Amino acid sequence: MCSKPNEAEFIERLSSPDTRDEAFRQFFKLYSARLYVNIKRLVANQEDANDILQDTFMKAYQNISDFRGESSLFTWLFRIATNQTLTFMTRQNQEMSMVVTQSEDSGVENMLADEYFDGEELQERLEKAIATLPAKQRIVFNMKYYDGLKYEEMSDILETSVGALKASYHHAVTKLKQILEDTE
C-alpha cells in the first residue's frame, strides 16, 4: 500500500511529463480500489466495472491539465468515475430498452455470484432493492449510505445542489423502506 502524498506536490508530478507516468501509477494504486467498489455497486457486472474504471483513469490521465484545484484530487476523480458510470448506464438503458426487471435481476444475479459479495440475506434484499432505484437515486444513496459522504462532498462530485441531493436521498430511502417491507 502506498502512502498518500502531499496533494499539491502530487498534482505537480501528475502534470509534469518527466514524472507523469510514475505519478499515475501511484494515483491508480491510491484510488482504484475505492472507485471500483463505487462503480461496481452501480453496474453490478465485474467486467463493466473494470471497463469504467479503466476509462475513468484514462480520462483523468488525458485531462489532468484541466484540474483546477477547486476540489480535492479524489473528488475530481470521483466525479469523472460517476460521469463515466452514468454515461455507461444511460447507453446500456438505451440499448437494452427491454423489461427493466429482467436487466435488474440479471445485474443482481451477477453481483450475488461475485466472489467478493457478502451474501447475507438482508444484504441481498437491500442490494436487490437498490437495483430497482433510478440511476441518480441509486448513486446518491450509495454515496451517502456506503461511502458516508456529506451532501457538500456529493454536491461537488455530482455538480448538483445540496437540496436536490437531500431530496434524491429521501426518495431513495422511502422507496427502499417500502420495497423491503413488501418483501418480508
Q: For residue 42, how many other CB atoms are within 10 A of its CB?
A: 22
Q: Bigger pLDDT: 147 or 94?
A: 147
Name the average pLDDT for the chain. Answer: 83
Distance (Å, whole) CA 62 – CA 57: 8
Q: Report which DSSP code applies to 71.
A: S
All structural domains of the chain:
1-117 (1.10.1740.10), 118-184 (1.10.10.10)
Model confidence pLDDT, tens digit, residues 122-132: 778 888 888 88
pLDDT (0 to 100) of residue 121: 72
Q: Is the pLDDT of residue 102 over 50?
A: no
Least confident of 45-59, 64-78, 84-98: 84-98
Distance (Å, whole) CA 108 – CA 125: 10
